[in-house]
Structure formats: C-alpha cells, structure tokens
Structure 1
C-alpha cells in the first residue's frame, strides 16, 4: 500500500508536534499518548485492511470464475444474453460476502471468436477501515502484478479455464474456453447466403459479403472439426434474384431427358413453391417443374447451389470464391434450401439411421425485391414475402432448425419477418435456470456478425451433439 503525499505531509506534521511535546517538561502526557497511538492504530489498520484486501480478491476471483463459466454455457446454447447471465451470477456470488456489500465493482464480458474464449473481468475498490486515519478511504481489489490465491476457473458447464484467473491494477479476470464438442455428431446444415449487389457495399471498412464469407467458412471449419468430421454435411444456397442449380433436364419446365444441365431458376408455381415435393417428370405435366431464368454473370461469380456434401474443403473453397450480383429473392433461397435437406429428388439428401440435426442458416442484408408466385397466378413482392413466412412455418413443423441473421438491415418489417421465420418462436423446453436458445440475430457491424456466427456455431454443435 503506497501512502499518498497528502497523508505523508500529515504524518510528518504529527511527528513535529510529537517532538515539540517531548521537548517541554510541563506538557501533558495525555496528548502525547494520544499522538503515539496514531501510528499504532494506523499500523494495525494496514494489517487488517491488507488482510481484507487479500480476502476480497479471492472472493471476487471466485465470483468472476463462476460468472465466466455461466456466461460460456449461455453462449454455447445460442443466448445473446450471456453478459446478463454473467452479471447475475457475479452479483449473486458477491452478495454472500459482507465485506463486498459496499464495494464499487465494474464488470465486463468479452468473446474472442478467433481463439474460442470468453473473458470476464471485475475491477474496482473496497472501502478501508482503520487506515482511513491516514487518508486511505479505499483500496483496489488487486494490487498491480499480483496473482490472487485461489484464482483460476475450473472446467464445468461445458467450459474450461484456459489460463486461470489473474489480477492487475485493481482488475481481476477469468478466461474460459467456449464449449467445443470433440465427439463426432450428425448434422445436415444448409447456408442460405444473400449475394445480391448490396452485399458488395462496405461496412466498417470491409465489404459485407467478405465478412459473411469469412464467418461462414469459419463455421464450416469449426463444425466439421477442421474438416475431419464425416458425420456432418454442408450445403450452400447463394441467392440473389435467382439461384443456379444442376439437375436432370426433366425437372426443368419445358425440357426433357435425364441428362443433367445447369440453369438459373425462379420459384415454382404456387403452391409447389411452398414444399420440397419432387417435381413431376412427365412431358405433359409441367405445373410442378422449375422455371429457368436468365442470370448472366452467375457462373463467373461461382454462385452455384451446392448439394449436401462431406467434402468440407470443397465447401469452404466455394464460399471463398463467390461474389455478389443481382437483386434479392429470399423466399427462393429458402425454397431451394428445403429441397437440399429432403430425400426427395432432385437432390435426394441421405437419410441417416441415427437422429440428425437438419438446419438452415439464412443471412440477408435487404428486403425482398423479387416477385414470387402466388394463387391465381399472382406475381408480386408481397406474395414472395408471404411465401417465405409459410415456407418457414412448414420447415419448422418438419423438424428443421431455422436460424436467421439480418446484417445491416434497417427495415423493421423484414427484421420481424426473419425473427418469425426463425425457430425463436417455437416453444423451447429448457431446464430451470438455463438460458433460452437464440435463433434470430439482428447485426449491424462486422463485430456483431462475428459474434452471432460464434453463437450459432456453438449452438448447432451442442444440438448435433445432443442429437447423437
């Protein structure tokens, strides 16, 4: 404990008074004894408050460790409220210690998605007791460059400490690993990514599609456990005003034959565009077939639908090679994703004997701008929006997990539609005290999108692990 200059001057003045009293024979002994008691009390106060500081440091470290583990568990099930969870655990823990009742403590929670860690910090000071006579009203929780006894969070609740607790300059911290599941787990995940022209715009000094691309590639690598897990398949649906597919000719409107060709398609006739049913291959019944449409530049920009695949390196390679072009047809992207997840032709997804998580992760930065097919040959943007709502309702009823992300999207109606589309509005059965999973994310910065993808990654990993 370092004595402030003002207190040092007070102490020197007190020493001068003592010397004057000692030089006078007629001085009363009572003031002398009183002044002599000051350093004794102050010394005792230093001992007491130093002990209190050490105890408080251990107590706050314990609270920080518990809060970090709780936050990591919340993050792992997809909760955006992991900071609130951390603060609630911290407050509950410190409330058990009387010496901390009047302490001034600030907390902070941060997530490092690159290193897959979460850090909880607590900083502040506690009031002193007897050392107040020397001008010390408070003392920091932790002295500089010290390591409190009992520091370091242990593993638990799906998280493990990665370096233990530390303290420096009044700040105590605890860093824990976010949940990672090493067991192989089964999943079929389709990434539905908006590659309309607006994704070529800049946000925070970086093009939006590049942030989306980087986070999507990272998600595939993480969930495939660095491309080693052959129990999880990934599909890609890059969409703008159309999607570019490869399938047998007899699934396209007006075409025949079983040899495969690549075309851009629009959504099917209503109500076929609301289901993943196999189109008729009859030459006399074209009502359920896919309409082809023009899509110049889709090929050069590599905007190709990729069926579910175990070739994770190929999936990441395609994600890294795609660039934006065109308008926005969200409903068409979801319609195509549903086809990829079913055992029906033309994509015929594999059916696993074990329970498999089927999930769609949809990201868009804009409103629906392309028209959709409706009843009585209605063709409008409003119909496309209605189609998306019905598609999502049916997909969730079929057991598909729907995760939606809005990125730099200012339209409230579209935000609400994406939230309703997600699995957020399904009843979620969670144990008492556990955080509610999160399936819709409204992001406006590159950092928020990275955080959202980290939560999505851990939530899907947990879901696949529990599905095994």
Structure 2
C-alpha cells in the first residue's frame, strides 16, 4: 500500500508540472509570434518608406509611371516571393500583402499605405491564425534655400520647334521646385537668355563705361540693353560694373561699305535713319538695325515668384544672327548669383554670400549647338559675302564685335583663298570661345556652384564633351536628342534639386 501511494504521488507531480508548462509554452509561442510580427511590421514600414521616396522622386511624371516606380521599390523591399492571388502577394516571412494604395493628397506629397497579414505559428492553437499589419508613409517635397540661374540658348537654330520645347522644359523645372506654391522661403531663380551676346536691360545704362552710349548712334531705334564682352580678361570674371564697366552693343551699318570692284553691293546689315527692321521678328535673318543679334529677352534677375518666372519663360523668343557664344551666357548667369553683384539687380540682399549653409548656388546651362561665329551672306539670301576691300576675313557682329576686329587675339592664316581663311578664322575663334567657357565652368565649380549642363538636338562629339566636362558631376550632364528628352533632362534636374522628407 505504501509503495502504491508513493507511485500515485509521483504521477500527480508529473501532471502538475505538465499542466504548469502549458501557459509557459503558450507564452513562449506568443512571444515568438509577436517577434515575427514585429519583424514583419518593420519590413512593411521599410517597404512603404522606400516606395514613397521612389514615387516622390517621380512627382512630375505621369501617374502611371509614378505608381510603377513606387511599386517596384515596395516589392523589392518587402521581398515578394510569388503571386498568391489576383489581389494579394506573398512576401517577407510568408506575410500576404495587399497591393499598396498610392495616392497624392496634394501636389507636393505622395502617400503610400500597405496592409499585410502574417500567419501565426503558435497563436493559431488559441484560435488566432494571423496578425494584421499596416504601415503608411508620406513623402513631402521640400526645396531648400537656393539661388538657381538658368542660362538658356535662344539662338536662331532654336526656331521654331526648339524654343517651344525649351519653354515647356524650363517651366517643368520651375513647376517641380515650387509645386503648388507661389513662393518658397529662400528659393530664388534667374532666367538668362543668351545668343551671340546677352541683354542686361536698357535700364542699366549706368553699368556702361562713361561716354560710350550715344542715342544718335541708334536712331531711329535705341539701345536695347545688350553689351559686348569686356576686355582685360573680364570676359571670364564676375567683376561688377564698378570694376569693369560694359560697352553697349551696336552693330554698325554696312550700308555703302561693301564693294565688288568699284560697284557698291549690299552688306550683311544695311540699316539707315530711314530703315531699321530689327523689331520685325518675321524677317528673321533678313532684319537690319543697330541691335541686330541682340536678344529681345532681357536677363531676369533672381526672382521669388513662380508666376513671374513662368511668364518670362513662356515669352522667350529666338534671337537671329550673330552666332552661339556660350561663355557670355554662362558669365551672365554668374552675374545673377554672385555676391559681388549684390544690390545691383534691385534687391539689396541678393545675391547672398557663397558657401552659406542652407543656400545652394546652381547654374543650368543649356545649348542646342556648338559654339559658333555665324557668317551670314551679304545681300540676298544665298549670296556670297563680299568684304568691302575684297580681302578682309569677317563674319557677323557678336559680343566680341566683328570677326575682323580679332578681339580674341587669334592668329589666323594670311595665305589661301578668302573663303578658306574665313573658315579657318571662324574655327579658331570657336575653339577660343569653348576654351573660355570651360575655364569659367572651372571657376564656378571652385566657388562651390553646382553646374548642370544640357545639349539639345546636338550630335557634335566635341561640344558634348565640352558640356560634359563643364558639369559638376558626370550625372549632371544631359544629352537630349529630341524634345521629349529635353523635358526629361529639365525634369530630372528639378527632381535632384528638391529634397524629399518622410512623414507618417
């Protein structure tokens, strides 16, 4: 009897221990499932964060592209394994996720919301077969303090389709920076149209060297505001007018200056007191006048208002004659963001100092052609140019004057036919202009200015290389073979210039 009782007592202890282990095992199982749930929830949150940032970077793209970019990053981070059904997918740790919902509460934000169900291992014993997971993230566009100068090529080769594409592309960039806001604290943008020279505005006659502007020299027109390249190396500096004043641009009349033998022939800009047609845009290359080759569009200095910027971009016009002198366009862009020009454009606080934290300085330089000194035929279209003495190498007037003036100091051939010597002189001057542009790119980057460059509808390898080397980074150069690619280039630059902030 005593032995049997002892055995019964031992069986009771074992039963007691077994019963006491059940809650312990349940607690361990619960802890394991909760740990799995925490890991899955963390992975889901990471996936929606990545999706929101990817979609946010594509704000300016069509909705389908924006959602596709977000979905790719969501599934890449959630670990898609296989398609589970038409509306669900199997992901991390076997969790079944619903396709994330992507919406845009406003023009500046993108929201991604995802739900998933994680199968339990131990909790199903107690009737709970899965855990519900949910995560949401919102990416908000945020533009930091920035002074951005857009130097835009408006030479004759941009007519008519190129200029239309440029207007759309530049507006895209502004739209990305501002979103639905009219102003953003710390953001200022300048628009710098350029061709063979730049137009600083007729209201800045005080920037000219004393005694050089005579109203009579422009009659029956008036000085439009364009300036010539400054000498003594100041075509490559950001010196203000007080240090290096400008010379007003003026293309002297060629009337009665060109001869064939002893017979007077038409020149390449025959204007007079009774005949100036430079304001007639329909004449294109056939117009004449003292401001021929001077862009109609003036430089728009740093501006805060989105509507003002868009209006100026929409009004951009092509400038005919002269050529493509990129270094002068780049230099004028520098004028608009250089602290040495503070107060000169009208705002006493702008441009701000270089290197100030929270205030980036950026230049976007765009062209559709290689640097060129245009040589338009004298007289009727298609006629050969006839220099006044039958020997002088010459071409159109630009910011560097006439080719025959040789302001760039180029040593040109003195033998050979006139046509051959003219072609050689133009090629050498084009190379000198490119050298000046590259040197200025180096100066800007040394100042901490970020430079983006764009070539449009251009197949010239040397010019592509020039603009590629000018950009601050290899990815800061864009070759755009067509109008769609041009808009994509401006869009990508805009997306890079804005930052995205994640919110919950």
Say whether the fold is shared (TM-score over 0.5).
yes
- The SS at the match of 2:340 is coil
Residue 449, structure 1, aligned to residue 405, structure 2? no
Asked if 2 retains the 8 angstrom alpha-carbon contact of 1:363 and 1:405, the reply is yes
Structure 1 equivalent of residue 315 of structure 2: 321
Q: Provide the C-alpha distance between the structure 2 equivalents of 1:334 and 1:213, rounded to a whole number of angstroms.
A: 19
Q: Provide the C-alpha distance between the structure 1 equivalents of 2:62 and 2:364, rounded to a whole number of angstroms.
A: 20
Which of 393, 398, 418 aligns to 2:442? It is 393
- The SS at the match of 1:423 is coil
- The SS at the match of 1:358 is strand
Structure 1 equivalent of residue 208 of structure 2: 252
Residue 231, structure 1, aligned to residue 186, structure 2? yes
Q: Structure 1 residue 216: deviation in Å?
A: 1.1
Q: 1:141-171: per-residue Cα shift (whole Å, max 9, x none)?
A: 365466762532899xxx98645579xxxxx
Q: Provide the C-alpha distance between the structure 2 equivalents of 1:298 and 1:255, rounded to a whole number of angstroms.
A: 30
For structure 2, the residue ranges without an aligned partner over 5 or more in a row are: 1-43, 73-80, 90-95, 116-136, 214-221, 252-276, 283-294, 374-397, 401-405, 411-427
Residue 308, structure 1, aligned to residue 256, structure 2? no
Asked if 2 retains the 8 angstrom alpha-carbon contact of 1:209 and 1:324, the reply is yes
Matches within 5 A, 1:66-465: 68=51, 113-115=61-63, 117=66, 119-120=68-69, 141=83, 143-144=85-86, 149-152=97-100, 162=111, 180-181=141-142, 185-201=144-160, 207-225=161-179, 226-246=181-201, 247-253=203-209, 255=211, 262-280=224-242, 288-294=245-251, 296-297=278-279, 302-326=296-320, 327-345=323-341, 346-347=344-345, 350-352=350-352, 355=357, 356-370=359-373, 377-378=409-410, 380-424=429-473, 438-462=475-499
The structure-2 alpha-carbon separation of the partners of 1:198 and 1:178, relative to structure 1 and needing over 3 Å to count, comes to farther
Q: Provide the C-alpha distance between the structure 2 equivalents of 1:337 and 1:377, rounded to a whole number of angstroms.
A: 25
Structure 2 equivalent of residue 26 of structure 1: none
Q: Structure 1 residue 271: deviation in Å?
A: 0.8
The structure-2 alpha-carbon separation of the partners of 1:178 and 1:216, relative to structure 1 and needing over 3 Å to count, comes to farther
Structure 1 equivalent of residue 391 of structure 2: none
Q: Structure 1 residue 230: deviation in Å?
A: 4.0
Q: Answer with 1 or 2: which has the greater Rg.
A: 2
TM-score of the aligned structures, taking structure 1 as reference length: 0.57
- The SS at the match of 1:210 is helix
The structure-2 alpha-carbon separation of the partners of 1:224 and 1:297, relative to structure 1 and needing over 3 Å to count, comes to farther
Asked if 1 retains the 8 angstrom alpha-carbon contact of 2:110 and 2:139, the reply is no
The structure-2 alpha-carbon separation of the partners of 1:362 and 1:111, relative to structure 1 and needing over 3 Å to count, comes to same
Q: Provide the C-alpha distance between the structure 1 equivalents of 2:300 and 2:360, rounded to a whole number of angstroms.
A: 19
Structure 1 equivalent of residue 32 of structure 2: none
TM-score of the aligned structures, taking structure 2 as reference length: 0.54
CA RMSD of aligned residues (A): 4.5
Q: Structure 1 residue 264: deviation in Å?
A: 1.6
